[in-house]
Amino acid sequence: MRDFVITTDSNSDLPESYIKEKQIGVIPHYYDIDAATYGGGNELPVKEFYDKMRAGSSATTTASNPAVIRETFTRYISQGYDILHISFSSALSGGYNNICVGAAEICEAHPEARIVVLDTLNVSLGQGLAIMKAVQMKEAGCSLDEIHSWLEEHKQEFCVQFTVEDLKYLYRGGRISKTTAVVGSLINVKPVLYVNPDGQLVSLSTVRGRKRSLATLVANMEERRGSYKEDSLPICIVHGDALQDAEYTASLIREKFGTDNILINTVGPSIGAHSGPGAIGICFMGDHR
pLDDT of residue 184: 61
Residue range 78-137, pLDDT digits in tens: 999 999 999 999 999 999 999 999 999 999 999 999 999 999 999 999 999 999 999 999
**pLDDT for the residue numbered 166:** 81
Give Cβ neighbours of residue 58 (< 8 Å, ≥ 6 apart): 33, 172
Quick check: 181 pLDDT over 70?
no
In terms of Cβ atoms closer than 10 Å to its own Cβ (0-12, 13-18, 19+), residue 136 is: middle
* pLDDT computed for residue 171 by the predictor: 73
* Coil vs helix vs strand at 17: helix
Cα distances (angstroms) measured from residue 99 to each of 86, 95, 253, 256: 10, 6, 36, 40
Distance between CA 35 and CA 30 in Å, rounded? 13
Whether the Cβ atoms of residue 126 and residue 95 lie closer than 8 Å to each other: no
Amino acid at 84: L
- The average pLDDT across 198-213 equals 91
pLDDT at 217: 98
Of the pLDDT bands very low, low, confident and very high (cuts 50, 70, 90), residue 189 is confident
- Supply the pLDDT for residue 191: 86
DSSP class per residue in 142-209: --HHHHHHHHHHHGGGEEEEEE-S-THHHHHTTSS-HHHHHHHHHTTEEEEEEE-TTS-EEEEEEEES
Kindly report the backbone phi and psi dihedral angles of residue 263, in degrees, each rounded to the nearest multiple of 5, phi listed first: -115, 125
Residue 270 is given by DSSP the state H
* CATH numbers and ranges of domains, the chain: 4-155 (3.40.50.10170), 157-285 (3.30.1180.10)
Residue 154 binned pLDDT confidence (cut-offs 50, 70, 90): very high
pLDDT at 201: 87
| Mean pLDDT for the stretch of residues 56-77 | 96
Does the pLDDT of residue 185 top 70, yes or no?
no
Task: Kindly report, residue by residue over 232-269, the tens digit of the pLDDT.
Answer: 999 999 999 999 999 999 999 999 999 999 999 999 99
Residue 165: what pLDDT? Answer: 86
> Is residue 183's pLDDT more than 60?
no
What number is the average pLDDT over the span 205-220? 94
Instruction: Check the CA dihedral 201-157-148-153 and report its sign.
Output: negative
Query: Which pLDDT value is given to residue 158?
Result: 98
Q: Give the predicted TM-score (pTM) of the model.
A: 0.94
